[in-house]
Structure 1
């Protein structure tokens, strides 16, 4: 036993030291960091990205070592309250409403408090913690996500810390599921299974999902399970996980048109009907006559009111304002055309015959979601985890760079007010677009490579 340990140490001592250092950095990040401390935040992120890169470089074929490292990094954060986002307070609020037999879509938290407040534990702490923006609006979380909130709050004993821990365990389990099925999908499409570690060990994934409790990981687990079933020829079994993925977060709706060339008319019709029926079944218990209006009000805010870390939108706004446009009017006009432009892009990609092959489908999906986020008015760091995962099934690597540079957006929280700095946005997106253009040019200037995934990089 001792000899085996000595041998293991001699073979992996550098990697073990990297993991130990990573545990210290994640601990500092989770328990000591304040979001307003921009220099420390960016420095920690940069150090963790370097450590994850070296670990993948040294141990990418060592499955047990890599999985253990990823789990240890996540376990360090188990008892920490999220320090980069206050959304978890609203998660717990909505989950408590369901446990009390109340509808989370019926009233805003402000309206509930005006009525005296719901009768669940720590209601004042949750109300104050979520902030005025969240408390003034109806819940925008889809029904399946609401049920997961309620389950986690129940398992956590309806306390804040207990609920945080239970949500964190669920998200960690989801990441393990992504790792398992992601590797199997990579094998199905004849790609190296170790590429999934660019997701599993990515500090953005660990900090934003496990650390800050964003449910993208749960959505992505159901999505990747559905895609595994589809590439395995079991599309009819993929209906339920795909519907659950949409029910956690609506983003997978973007890819429904792309399933047409992959499955064909007959199969995809059954898939669409099945998905709609499953979603309807989950929505039914929470539906009431004003549901569409309440839910729609909050969704429209993301397109016509909010702006953060945008790329093409900021360029368009600057041009429009220089021509005399009013910013608050321009964002409403701009937001109204985003769905149309995204839909047009998706339909154009659907017409490409290469999308019929599962091996190249993920490149098409990556293009669709990147167009959406490049056009979007709001791009929080955790939003790009979906395209980051999709990129592992392609030969494009610009998403890895974006997952590193997007942390610069947190510098906007460095003062008393949230204030974005143009030079930060330029630095972030110049790097991303520059590397993306480089990857396209490297493939003989063939733009269709985004669907064909023909870019070759040393990382492969």
Structure 2
């Protein structure tokens, strides 16, 4: 794993080495598959320290290099520097601002400068912390620390679910978070860390249900869940799962904590924060990338808006179905099984979101990758690799300045995990990992 990652870290320009990236990451995923096979047959006894130690080495290889596969990090730093200078990052779009001389080089690198920042308040505080630590490397180092903390929280979650720790390698050693967080510096991992903390507090509240009640656990879980949702909005559909798994007498405390967390982060940026709706509206109406379901529906209906509406309704139906299924499972489940059922629901909702979204950037799959140790199956593991195939678009974009998507690649990203799921069913396997 270290040699494979090192071969990519030594490349001076990954955008000119996309075939190598695809091949090397495929080899890393195959090694994870072998580890999964050996572990399920009792052949692995890796300690959490060893797992996190290797995860640290994998991430250190990419820490000092500038981002190559994405330029979002420059927007992060722009927002963070504005916050440090006492300027509300939601006040105006970068294109409408004359930057100070010290920030002019950074200003020139911001993507989509015509839009007000789309990143919620928690993300802005993280950006400010990274900017205070010193530029690209400082912010990436902070995000890597969040990512390593996530690995540690996953170990604790496995213990909470009475499962061994070794499956954490499915995230900790996965090439997706290594490339997208340590390499490109995406903030999604920080949100997942906070969400994992909220999940852990929620499940500990469930475990203690028959003991002396600790009312602060559901309140803190709700608060932390709200903070996670304000890093990026992806954890938002998972909030009802945490609410349902919280014991009925304590759901009010969870809800109160969620509202308090939301208000504490929104109010300091208000009223300028309302400008974010313009950027979110443009994203929802116009953005598209590598969405196989969207492309198929648009071709069938002749309308992108109709395709988006159908996909939105389909996802809403999926969420409702999975929540109803979870509620039924929780009725007769014990404390440990309640936690496992909740993680399975999170996994299913996350996978449905990724398969139905019109815009599928590779780092969006981090939400799914973090759930692989607890509830992942063949479809999820394959998806977290095939999503990297979409980086093929970087080759003509880097050389010619043309953004040219590939229909077969988009289809492969969608169909490969579906095929993996089908094969697992045909071979008598499970959609998710056995306990």
- Measured against the shorter chain, the TM-score band is 0.7 to 0.9
Q: 1:66 to 1:299 in 2, by over 3 A?
A: same
Alignment-derived partner of residue 99 in structure 1 = 84
Deviations 1:251-280 (A, max 9, x none): 111012223431244422331232122121
Q: 1:187 aligns with which of 145, 151, 159?
A: 159
Q: How does 1:307-326 map to 2 (within 5 A)?
A: 307-320=288-301, 325=302
- The alpha carbon displacement at 1:78 in A equals 1.9
Alignment-derived partner of residue 44 in structure 1 = 24
Once residues 348 and 376 of structure 1 are traced to their aligned partners in structure 2, the CA distance between those partners, rounded to angstroms, is: 18
Once residues 119 and 400 of structure 1 are traced to their aligned partners in structure 2, the CA distance between those partners, rounded to angstroms, is: 45
Q: 1:146 aligns with which of 107, 111, 124?
A: 124
Q: Does the Cα contact within 8 Å between 1:257 and 1:347 map onto a contact in 2?
A: no
Q: Equivalent residue of 1:98, what SS?
A: helix
Q: 2:320 aligns with which of 347, 355, 362?
A: 347
Once residues 358 and 48 of structure 1 are traced to their aligned partners in structure 2, the CA distance between those partners, rounded to angstroms, is: 29
Q: Does the Cα contact within 8 Å between 2:55 and 2:148 map onto a contact in 1?
A: no
Q: Does the Cα contact within 8 Å between 1:189 and 1:359 map onto a contact in 2?
A: yes
Structure 1 runs of 4+ off > 6 angstroms?
A: none
Once residues 81 and 188 of structure 1 are traced to their aligned partners in structure 2, the CA distance between those partners, rounded to angstroms, is: 38
Unaligned runs of 5+ in 2: 206-216, 332-337
Normalization by structure 2: what TM-score? 0.87
Q: Equivalent residue of 2:110, what SS?
A: helix
Deviations 1:190-246 (A, max 9, x none): 222111110000011101011100011111111111111111113223123212211
Alignment-derived partner of residue 246 in structure 2 = 263
Deviations 1:284-312 (A, max 9, x none): 11111x532x2112112232101111121
- The alpha carbon displacement at 1:433 in A equals 0.9
Alignment-derived partner of residue 55 in structure 2 = 70
Once residues 355 and 209 of structure 1 are traced to their aligned partners in structure 2, the CA distance between those partners, rounded to angstroms, is: 35
Q: 1:55 to 1:370 in 2, by over 3 A?
A: closer
Q: Which moved more, 1:34-43 or 1:175-184?
A: 34-43
Larger Rg: 1
Alignment-derived partner of residue 302 in structure 1 = 283
Q: Does the Cα contact within 8 Å between 2:223 and 2:259 map onto a contact in 1?
A: no
Deviations 1:74-95 (A, max 9, x none): 1121210010000011001111
Q: 1:55 to 1:79 in 2, by over 3 A?
A: farther
Alignment-derived partner of residue 87 in structure 1 = 72
Q: Equivalent residue of 1:350, what SS?
A: helix
Alignment-derived partner of residue 6 in structure 1 = none
Deviations 1:321-369 (A, max 9, x none): xxxx2xxxx2233334544433332222222211562221111111112
Once residues 39 and 346 of structure 1 are traced to their aligned partners in structure 2, the CA distance between those partners, rounded to angstroms, is: 36
Q: Does the Cα contact within 8 Å between 2:29 and 2:385 map onto a contact in 1?
A: yes
- What is the alpha-carbon root mean square deviation over aligned residues? 2.4
- The alpha carbon displacement at 1:395 in A equals 5.1
Alignment-derived partner of residue 10 in structure 1 = none
Q: Does the Cα contact within 8 Å between 2:32 and 2:169 map onto a contact in 1?
A: no
Once residues 322 and 223 of structure 2 are traced to their aligned partners in structure 1, the CA distance between those partners, rounded to angstroms, is: 25
Alignment-derived partner of residue 263 in structure 2 = 280
